[in-house]
A and B are shown apart, each in its own frame.
Chain A
Amino acid sequence: MSEYVTLAIDGANVRAPHGTSVLDAALDYGICIPHLCHMRGITPIGACRVCIVEVVENGRSKVTASCTLEVEEGMVVLAHSEKILRARKNIAEMLVAEAPNSRAVQDVALRCGVKEVRYPFRHESCILCGRCVRACSEIWQSKSLGFVGRGSERHVALPFNKRPEFCKRCNACIDLCPMTITPCPGPMKKGEEALCGLCEAQMSMAEETPDTCVDCRLGEGFHCVRKSPYYQ
């Protein structure tokens, strides 16, 4: 039996086992905090910052990613304060401008309330969420992928850019990648970018009942955690 702690997320008293992350606790309870790089079963790294929340302590609040934040007894978390919503929307806007052709990223952006993108689109092929890198080394113990370079040169690469012998060809890197699935009606052409908007209906549902987790199906193969095989 694991020990349980009680914390407040958006005013709701949430009971969660000791050692759980705030994001997982919120999702289990039914409070949807949008997220992208997080996946159950692999170590959270807090890279995408979509899941940021405010933690209130002694009258002061600090902003941190909920995927890397462990639950603590009596913790007060605000996942949908005005400050958080504004920043999260802006981050999602940056992400979708980086990779407008990804259905998964578009869905996350839509969930965060992005209706227009003010940045010029960039059409990157990777948003460096690190799902593939972590899955490869942690789930499959293979370490066939890694990050190379720093800052704007950071990218995911194979060792010496060649598929190594120890690669298990499990395809997890592709299955888990938010970029590989683009079930939008055709990838966007340069100059005609717009948000896909197919889950507009789900959005309106989310707006009406903001406390419940809508099964927003963050792209095929990129389910909301409730549908994922890692969800017990």
Chain B
Amino acid sequence: MSAITSIADLQKLAEKKSRENQAYSKIVTLCAGTGCCASGCLPVLASLRDELEAQGLAQKIKIRTTGCHGFCEQGPLMVIEPGNTFYRWIKVEDVPEIVCETLGQDKIIERLEYIDPASGKKVSCETDIPFYKAQDRSILGQNKVIDPCDINDYIANGGYSALVKVLTSMKPDGIIEEIKESGLRGRGGGGFPTGRKWEYCRAAEGSPKYVICNADEGDPGAYMDRSVLEGNPHAVIEGMLIGAFAIGAEHGYIYVRNEYPLAVKHSKIALVQAEELGLLGKNILGTDFSFDIKVARGGGAFVCGESSALMVSLEGKVGEPRPKDIHTTEKGFMDLPTNLNNVETWANVPSIINRGAAWFASKGTDKSKGTKIFALTGQIKNTGLIEVDMGITLREIIYDIGGGPFNGKKIKAVQTGGPSGGCLPEERFDLPVDFEALTEAGSMVGSGGMVVMDESACMVDVAKYFLNFLLDESCGKCVPCRVGLSRMLEIITDITEGNGTEEKLGLLKDTAETVSLASLCALGKTAPNPVLSTIRYFQAEYEAHIKENRCPAGVCRDLIHYSINEDNCNGCGACLKACPHDAISGEKKEVHRIDDDNCQKCGICKEACKFEAIIVS
């Protein structure tokens, strides 16, 4: 590949690739994101290649392996263009049929179609699926049309045109003004206006300046950044290039977790390809602008997602946050001005430059603009990665996109913003997804985790789970976070074990407030959110634990008791076989009994029983 030196070169490359794609009669897009790889897309890919070769279709049909499409629970996914035919749960055995029927004769295989769990109807076209329909996938949507390991694919879809526009017709101040006007705010959780951050960093004294992409995503159950970096690394690189040009930075880093092997691999491939084309390195596109990016792998400490800890870690020291009275835009990596943004923030930049600030600002609420990616998980019908306009209500996300509860149970709460977000009850589901509105309600947008819980979840237990995670991930530098969280966990464990008192609940609240007020970094400052929000919205549950020694959801082991309903038990013996602790006894076809001394309250018998004869009280 020869280096690109002008817009014409870039256009030529884009046209060449488009012509290549048009030569194919069909394009099969196979999701090869981490989720689909786990559900077995790679054998499917191999057998699809073999089958096409065998049938002599390899020249006519193109296979495109892409990053995550978002609907991971349905994986491995396949979309066949033209027609947007959507197949899910594809197995190797299905491949010959797909090639023969759908690719050969344009017939749709009903068995592989998606069935909408709400209506029970089959949907064959991807865009008609309710999960996708209610979304606005301006970033994630690109994943479907781009092979992350081929820079030409990105260029054919308008990639790097924003960089050309910036280098040829815009001044750094103009770019910053554009970003400020768009209202883009940090997508990593802080929500700080990106344009202002760039402006501070540009104005800061010191050289060289650095630009960092924060891909150290550590929230349990969240994989937004991972999927963007895996599926569309060039968008992130282009965003960083534009940012670096605006700020006047010379070097960049992508700090990505080592636990994300595919993201590391794809970003490294993307960097090499961009460098080959002269889009990275010295004198980019023949201008004076020089910029390079390196990939740095993180060791998996949650706290290293905090900007100052990340920079210290990048320097090769122990990743601990430092006080941010002096902003990292003035003194960051190596004590030099450093601008750090999240993966999603960077990925938003090229489209803002291409489509204009007004386009971006037309989406969202008064203060929160654009779209946001969430990892929707929990007790709902449809789970996966979603991208929605800011300002959409939680109810729309949970019921329209998520499809509502899946086993007839009532949805009780949603936890937004990752482990240090808060739990919001059903009454607050009409809240818009907006930085300010969610913070006011005691939660946060955060980096984008969204866990939906139904009646079977005990909110005290949920708070305890997240507290445990955060205590484990606290760096231990400051007292409120290290000691405060361990004290909170001590108290909440007492409550779930039936040793809670009113005074302890008061102390829990006091401690939580101190931790959120006085901690050094954002990890500590937001860590009490799960506890404070559950006390705020689900106080009755705490009181049931404390006053009545009862866990309403039947989760806290020390407060529940398993017994067998004699009317429902028909003595089938399923529970007896399933119990790993030999706590169930009874003759065949006679009512069984649970021995309280041996019962470990694991709940396996309840799952095994088909007659709802096991009662938890």
Interface of A toward B, CB cutoff 8 Å: 45-50, 52, 63-65, 68-70, 83, 86-88, 90-91, 94-95, 97-98, 118-120, 127-128, 147, 149-154
Contacts and interface: CB of A to CB of B under 8 A. Distances in A.
Contact of A91 (B471, B480, B486): B480
- 4 A-B pairs closest in CB distance: A154-B476, A68-B323, A90-B514, A151-B476
How many chain B residues sit at the interface, stated as a range, is 20 to 34
Interface in B440-476: 471-476
A83 B520 CA distance: 17
Contacts of A150: 301, 303, 474-476
B109 interface: no
Interface string B499-512: 00001000100110
B476 to A, nearest CB: 4
13 contacts: A45-B322, A46-B322, A48-B478, A63-B518, A68-B322, A68-B323, A86-B513, A87-B514, A94-B511, A118-B503, A128-B482, A152-B482, A154-B482
A151 B471 contact: yes
Contact of B520 (A46, A90, A152): A46
Contacts of A88: 518
B536 interface: no
B410 interface: no
A147 B517 contact: no
B472 A49 contact: no
Contacts of A119: 487, 490, 507
Interface string B558-593: 000000000000000000000000000000000000
Nearest to A152: B486
Contacts of A151: 471-476, 482
B479 A69 contact: no
B59 to A, nearest CB: 55
B326 interface: yes
A140 B495 CA distance: 48
Contacts of B476: 128, 149-154
A91 B482 contact: no
A94 B484 contact: yes
A50 B514 CA distance: 11
Q: Which of B303, B325, B473 has the most CB of A within 10 A?
A: B325
A187 B477 CA distance: 27
Contacts of B475: 150-151, 154
A3 B315 CA distance: 32
A87 B515 CA distance: 8
Given A87-B517, A151-B475, A94 B325 contact: no
A50 B510 CA distance: 16
A50 B326 CA distance: 20
A98 B490 CA distance: 13
